[in-house]
Amino acid sequence: MDIAAEILKITIPALIVFFTAWIILRNMIKNDQNRRNQELILQNSRTVTPIRLQAYERIVLFLERISLESLLLRVSTPEMTASQLHSALLSTVRSEFEHNLSQQIYMSQQAWEVVRNARSNMIKIINSEIEKLPPEAKGIDLSKRLLERIMELQTEPTRAAIDYLKGEIGRLM
Protein backbone atom coordinates (compact mmCIF):
# COMPACT_ATOMS: atom_id res chain seq x y z
CA MET A 1 0.00 0.00 0.00
CA ASP A 2 2.90 2.33 0.72
CA ILE A 3 4.09 2.00 -2.86
CA ALA A 4 0.65 2.88 -4.24
CA ALA A 5 0.44 5.90 -1.91
CA GLU A 6 3.90 7.04 -3.00
CA ILE A 7 2.98 6.67 -6.68
CA LEU A 8 -0.21 8.66 -6.10
CA LYS A 9 1.77 11.38 -4.27
CA ILE A 10 3.93 11.76 -7.38
CA THR A 11 1.36 11.23 -10.15
CA ILE A 12 -1.44 13.43 -8.79
CA PRO A 13 0.69 16.61 -8.66
CA ALA A 14 2.23 15.68 -12.02
CA LEU A 15 -1.25 15.27 -13.55
CA ILE A 16 -2.37 18.58 -12.05
CA VAL A 17 0.70 20.35 -13.52
CA PHE A 18 0.18 18.59 -16.86
CA PHE A 19 -3.53 19.58 -17.15
CA THR A 20 -2.78 23.14 -16.01
CA ALA A 21 -0.05 23.48 -18.64
CA TRP A 22 -2.28 21.87 -21.28
CA ILE A 23 -5.18 24.30 -20.54
CA ILE A 24 -2.86 27.32 -20.58
CA LEU A 25 -1.22 26.26 -23.85
CA ARG A 26 -4.60 25.52 -25.45
CA ASN A 27 -5.88 29.00 -24.48
CA MET A 28 -2.70 30.64 -25.76
CA ILE A 29 -3.02 28.85 -29.10
CA LYS A 30 -6.70 29.83 -29.42
CA ASN A 31 -5.91 33.45 -28.60
CA ASP A 32 -3.10 33.46 -31.14
CA GLN A 33 -5.40 32.00 -33.83
CA ASN A 34 -8.10 34.58 -33.03
CA ARG A 35 -5.55 37.39 -33.24
CA ARG A 36 -4.28 36.12 -36.59
CA ASN A 37 -7.85 35.82 -37.91
CA GLN A 38 -8.60 39.38 -36.84
CA GLU A 39 -5.41 40.62 -38.49
CA LEU A 40 -6.36 38.80 -41.69
CA ILE A 41 -9.86 40.30 -41.64
CA LEU A 42 -8.42 43.77 -41.05
CA GLN A 43 -5.90 43.33 -43.85
CA ASN A 44 -8.64 42.14 -46.22
CA SER A 45 -10.84 45.10 -45.34
CA ARG A 46 -7.93 47.45 -46.03
CA THR A 47 -7.64 45.90 -49.48
CA VAL A 48 -11.32 45.42 -50.33
CA THR A 49 -12.74 48.71 -49.04
CA PRO A 50 -10.88 50.92 -51.54
CA ILE A 51 -11.89 48.58 -54.37
CA ARG A 52 -15.53 48.70 -53.26
CA LEU A 53 -15.44 52.49 -53.07
CA GLN A 54 -13.93 52.62 -56.53
CA ALA A 55 -16.74 50.40 -57.82
CA TYR A 56 -19.35 52.70 -56.32
CA GLU A 57 -17.58 55.69 -57.90
CA ARG A 58 -17.66 54.02 -61.30
CA ILE A 59 -21.34 53.18 -60.96
CA VAL A 60 -22.18 56.75 -59.94
CA LEU A 61 -20.27 57.94 -62.99
CA PHE A 62 -22.24 55.45 -65.11
CA LEU A 63 -25.51 56.78 -63.70
CA GLU A 64 -24.46 60.36 -64.38
CA ARG A 65 -23.52 59.42 -67.94
CA ILE A 66 -26.91 57.82 -68.62
CA SER A 67 -28.92 60.69 -67.18
CA LEU A 68 -30.96 62.17 -70.03
CA GLU A 69 -29.31 65.59 -69.94
CA SER A 70 -25.86 64.05 -70.21
CA LEU A 71 -26.93 61.55 -72.86
CA LEU A 72 -28.59 64.16 -75.03
CA LEU A 73 -25.55 66.45 -74.85
CA ARG A 74 -23.17 63.67 -75.85
CA VAL A 75 -25.25 61.78 -78.41
CA SER A 76 -27.57 64.12 -80.26
CA THR A 77 -26.66 66.11 -83.33
CA PRO A 78 -28.92 68.63 -85.11
CA GLU A 79 -29.35 66.53 -88.26
CA MET A 80 -30.50 63.36 -86.46
CA THR A 81 -33.98 61.99 -86.91
CA ALA A 82 -35.93 60.89 -83.86
CA SER A 83 -35.39 57.22 -84.68
CA GLN A 84 -31.64 57.75 -85.12
CA LEU A 85 -31.47 59.58 -81.81
CA HIS A 86 -33.57 56.86 -80.16
CA SER A 87 -31.24 54.18 -81.44
CA ALA A 88 -28.13 56.12 -80.41
CA LEU A 89 -29.49 56.75 -76.90
CA LEU A 90 -30.36 53.10 -76.33
CA SER A 91 -27.04 51.95 -77.73
CA THR A 92 -25.14 54.32 -75.46
CA VAL A 93 -27.05 53.27 -72.35
CA ARG A 94 -26.50 49.59 -73.11
CA SER A 95 -22.80 49.97 -73.88
CA GLU A 96 -22.22 52.06 -70.74
CA PHE A 97 -23.98 49.40 -68.70
CA GLU A 98 -22.02 46.54 -70.25
CA HIS A 99 -18.81 48.45 -69.60
CA ASN A 100 -19.64 48.55 -65.86
CA LEU A 101 -21.14 45.10 -65.36
CA SER A 102 -18.17 43.79 -63.41
CA GLN A 103 -18.72 46.38 -60.67
CA GLN A 104 -21.64 44.38 -59.31
CA ILE A 105 -19.16 42.06 -57.62
CA TYR A 106 -18.22 44.79 -55.17
CA MET A 107 -21.74 46.08 -54.51
CA SER A 108 -24.58 44.82 -52.38
CA GLN A 109 -27.37 42.98 -54.16
CA GLN A 110 -29.83 45.76 -53.30
CA ALA A 111 -27.53 48.47 -54.68
CA TRP A 112 -27.04 46.58 -57.93
CA GLU A 113 -30.80 46.11 -58.28
CA VAL A 114 -31.28 49.86 -57.83
CA VAL A 115 -28.72 50.49 -60.59
CA ARG A 116 -30.37 47.96 -62.92
CA ASN A 117 -33.79 49.48 -62.26
CA ALA A 118 -32.48 52.97 -63.00
CA ARG A 119 -31.08 51.78 -66.32
CA SER A 120 -34.32 49.97 -67.17
CA ASN A 121 -36.41 53.00 -66.26
CA MET A 122 -34.27 55.25 -68.46
CA ILE A 123 -34.75 52.84 -71.36
CA LYS A 124 -38.52 52.74 -70.71
CA ILE A 125 -38.70 56.54 -70.72
CA ILE A 126 -36.78 56.74 -74.00
CA ASN A 127 -38.95 54.04 -75.58
CA SER A 128 -42.23 55.52 -74.38
CA GLU A 129 -41.44 58.98 -75.72
CA ILE A 130 -40.38 57.77 -79.20
CA GLU A 131 -43.72 55.97 -79.50
CA LYS A 132 -45.56 59.27 -79.07
CA LEU A 133 -43.82 60.87 -82.04
CA PRO A 134 -44.60 60.44 -85.74
CA PRO A 135 -42.07 58.40 -87.76
CA GLU A 136 -40.75 61.49 -89.58
CA ALA A 137 -40.02 63.42 -86.35
CA LYS A 138 -36.68 65.14 -85.86
CA GLY A 139 -34.21 64.30 -83.13
CA ILE A 140 -34.78 67.69 -81.52
CA ASP A 141 -38.45 66.78 -81.04
CA LEU A 142 -37.50 63.63 -79.19
CA SER A 143 -34.99 65.57 -77.12
CA LYS A 144 -37.63 68.08 -76.08
CA ARG A 145 -40.11 65.36 -75.16
CA LEU A 146 -37.52 63.50 -73.13
CA LEU A 147 -36.51 66.61 -71.21
CA GLU A 148 -40.15 67.48 -70.58
CA ARG A 149 -40.79 63.96 -69.31
CA ILE A 150 -37.85 64.13 -66.94
CA MET A 151 -39.05 67.48 -65.63
CA GLU A 152 -42.46 65.92 -64.89
CA LEU A 153 -40.88 63.23 -62.73
CA GLN A 154 -40.41 63.93 -59.07
CA THR A 155 -36.97 62.29 -59.16
CA GLU A 156 -35.09 61.14 -62.23
CA PRO A 157 -34.33 57.39 -61.99
CA THR A 158 -30.59 57.93 -62.15
CA ARG A 159 -30.72 60.59 -59.42
CA ALA A 160 -32.70 58.26 -57.13
CA ALA A 161 -30.12 55.51 -57.71
CA ILE A 162 -27.22 57.88 -56.99
CA ASP A 163 -28.89 58.97 -53.75
CA TYR A 164 -29.34 55.34 -52.73
CA LEU A 165 -25.67 54.56 -53.48
CA LYS A 166 -24.51 57.59 -51.48
CA GLY A 167 -26.54 56.34 -48.53
CA GLU A 168 -25.05 52.88 -48.82
CA ILE A 169 -21.52 54.26 -49.02
CA GLY A 170 -22.25 56.29 -45.89
CA ARG A 171 -23.20 53.09 -44.09
CA LEU A 172 -19.98 51.41 -45.28
CA MET A 173 -17.83 54.13 -43.86
102 is a domain residue: yes
Residue 17 forms part of a structural domain: no
pTM of the model: 0.75
Is 134 within the bounds of a domain?
Answer: yes
173 residues of the chain, pLDDT tens digit each: 788 888 888 899 989 999 999 999 999 999 999 999 998 878 877 777 888 899 999 999 999 999 999 999 999 998 999 999 999 999 999 999 999 999 999 999 999 999 999 999 999 999 999 999 998 999 999 999 999 999 998 899 999 999 999 999 988 77
Q: Is 11 inside a domain boundary?
A: no
In a domain, 28, yes or no: no
DSSP track, the chain: -HHHHHHHHHHHHHHHHHHHHHHHHHHHHHHHHHHHHHHHHHHHHHHHHHHHHHHHHHHHHHHHHTSHHHHHHHH--TT-BHHHHHHHHHHHHHHHHHHTGGGGGGS-HHHHHHHHHHHHHHHHHHHHHHHTS-TT-BHHHHHHHHHHHHHHSSS-HHHHHHHHHHHHHHHH-
Task: Determine, yes or no, domain membership for 136.
Answer: yes
Is residue 55, in this structure, part of any structural domain at all? yes
**Assigned domain for 25 exists:** no
- The total domain count for the chain is 1
